[in-house]
Amino acid sequence: MASTVFDSALFRDMFGTAEMRAVFSDEALVGRYLETEAALARAQARAGVVPKDAAVTIDAAARSITIDYEALRRETEIVGYPILPLVHQLSKAAGDAGRYVHWGATTQDIMDTANVLQIRAALDIVARDLKELRGILAGLARKHRDTPMAGRTHLQQALPVTFGYKVAVWLSSIDRHIERVEQARPRVLLGEFSGAAGTLASVGDGGLEMQRLFCEELGLNQPSITWHVARDGIAEAVSLLGLITGTLGKIATDVMLMCATEFGELSEPFLPGRGASSTMPQKRNPISSELMLAAAKAVRQHVATMLDGMIHDFERATGPWHLEWVSLPESFLLTASSLANAKFMLAGLVVHEKRMRENLDLTHGLIVAEAVMMAAAPKLGRQHAHDVVYDSCRKAIEGGGDLADILSGVPEIVDALGGREAIRRHCDPANYLGLCGEMVDRVLSGRR
């Protein structure tokens, strides 16, 4: 029976995706170990250290070997790492050429490089999903560029905005994440072949060239120096996932609040039974948003773990490295789940424009008190205009009246704005949207 949400038949597709699980499965990880060992043999053959026919044999064995996973598991528990037991099996499969398997390498060289190969494949998935999500958000922002709604600060109505503006704010973060993924690749996608203490002493003077060829075989960047205990690249990858899921968690929070009965401005896509309650037939819970928020909170904890795990002792660590084995795959699985939920939810998001307008009118014009104040300021002075409008707002709040009607009874305001019709125009929230539309256009055009 499964023991975590990541391998549970019930929950695994709520906290991960099949595609991302395939990247981090045991079979895929062992495959990356074998890929790394084969690349090392090929590179060393190119460097003239290993016979070419031996490298060919090792490469073929790495591709065709049938792994005894039970033996690998049992020996890994004894050794503490899977590479020595795996090298035993690969060496046996390669016959006489097996004497050249793992030449000059150390366990962490193979495991680090294999993890980087996993990260590269996982980042490809994340980058693709971010671009697809960008397209969905761009469509929403464009469609609702001019759809007025209440902007809220401190959970109180503040000033009118448009729903397209709100979506474009979300989108701007996604654009930056797309950039961050590409910018992080050169720093994160480094090969590792350095030997026991990282000095390449086991292979001698040609070690750096051998290392270059090894990285070239795998399409990875060659590091300037050993990174056995310099874990900033791996920590950056998970921190990047924390930023991405943080943005998705913010989107989810906005959507969940706007789905609340009292707001009623959005609904997640409808599927029969989706978000249903076991006892309340009327319920339609925002399940996708809830999972996105949960992912953000979980990845945030992994970011903290990875930052703590950067603190290694001397030239090889005594434990912090192991934290990556937990946090790296789980962070990518959670991020993949959050992105999948975001794409599904936002692609089918139901926008209730009528309810947005009704909510905008809840305060009977109070939401645009600033508009009246600023319009009157040139004639009355900013502070005096503020005091006069403030007094009218207080009367509207206490007496429940319409702000435009109250202001129409204030001669100073009527004179400053040029008549009662002008007051009503300034009290229409749709006329006080600032530069929402222009800002949406800037985001859609990719301008910085």
**Residues annotated as part of the active site:** 154, 277
Report DSSP state, residue 3. Answer: -
Closest CA to 32 of 128, 123, 120, 129: 120
Query: Amino acid letter at 323?
Result: L
Exposed/middle/buried for residue 385 (C-beta within 10 Å: 0-12, 13-18, 19+): buried
Distance from chain centroid for Cα 290: 15
**CB proximity list for 63: less than 8 A, separation 6 or greater:** 34, 38
Query: To 5 degrees, how large is the angle CA 242–CA 110–CA 5?
Result: 40
Report DSSP state, residue 260. Answer: S
Distance CA 439, CA 427 (A): 23
Cα torsion through 88, 24, 107, 58, rounded to 10: 40
Closest CA to 267 of 246, 292, 289: 289
Answer positive or negative: Cα dihedral of 86, 91, 94, 99: positive
Query: To 5 degrees, how large is the angle CA 83–CA 84–CA 85?
Result: 90
